[in-house]
Amino acid sequence: MGFARLHPNVGLKLELNHAHAMIDMLLAEQLDFIVIDKRVLPDNPALAIKPLRRHDGRWFGRAGHPLASREAVSAVDLRKFPLVTVPLPPFMHSAVHRLLKIRSHEKIPVQLECNDVRVLKSFVEQTDALLFATASSVHKELAARTLVPIAVKDAPRIGLAFALVVLADRTLSPAGEVALALAGQMLNDVNLDAVEPVK
């Protein structure tokens, strides 16, 4: 990691948690910055927000998945298989409801929900489950062909509007500034290099 090479004597603390917990930790000065979808942020002047490139979401399955060889599948096809995802914020729930063509009062048929994308990816690589995620979060698996994109007919554009968020009135340490810049660069670069658009 670039930060570790530049600052070998500086410790890092990485936190994976629900959005509201991360915001609370930032406001309590327990974290220097957070990476989060800007649409879940409260209207709080204490927060300074730096938008990043949008990360579009897609469905992915294991190599050799029954849907992988098809040019495009329908919402009905998706619902025939177990679905796994990270916890979805409210604005994503409505988008996934539209994609899967299920009524707004019905539950999204998710078999496994987990904050840790690594757990979800491993589960999908070994089963016929389908993962909804950003291409950037599975770029290594796509390159290794252990996961492949599943094209969906007439799918609405669903994705994450990531942002780097810091406290507006707090000055970061030099190491914190470097970590912030590297995090932003890494998220933007991996999004551009992830995969070709699904046709």
SS3 47: strand
* Mean predicted confidence (pLDDT) in 59-64: 95
87 and 125 in a single domain? The answer is yes
72 and 131 in a single domain? The answer is yes
What's phi and psi for 162, nearest 5 deg?
Answer: -65, 150
171 and 124 in a single domain? The answer is no
pTM over 0.85: no
Number of domains in the chain: 2
- The kind and range of the H/E element at 197 are none
65 and 43 in a single domain? The answer is no
CATH of the domain at 145: 3.40.190.10
- pLDDT, position 76: 85
**Over 70: is that where the pLDDT of 131 sits?**
yes
Q: Please check whether residue 199 lies inside any domain of the structure.
A: no
**Over 60: is that where the pLDDT of 190 sits?**
no
Average pLDDT score, the chain: 82
116 and 34 in a single domain? The answer is no
Alpha-carbon distance of 31 to 197, in angstroms, equals 35
Q: Please check whether residue 198 lies inside any domain of the structure.
A: no
Side-chain half-sphere exposure of 122, counting CA atoms within 13 A = 5
66 and 152 in a single domain? The answer is yes
Domain residues for the domain of 28 are 2-52+161-193
Residue pLDDT, tens place only, 150-174? 988 877 677 778 888 999 988 877 7
Which residue pairs, CB below 8 angstroms and at least 24 apart, start in 3-6? 3/175, 3/178, 3/179, 3/182, 6/178
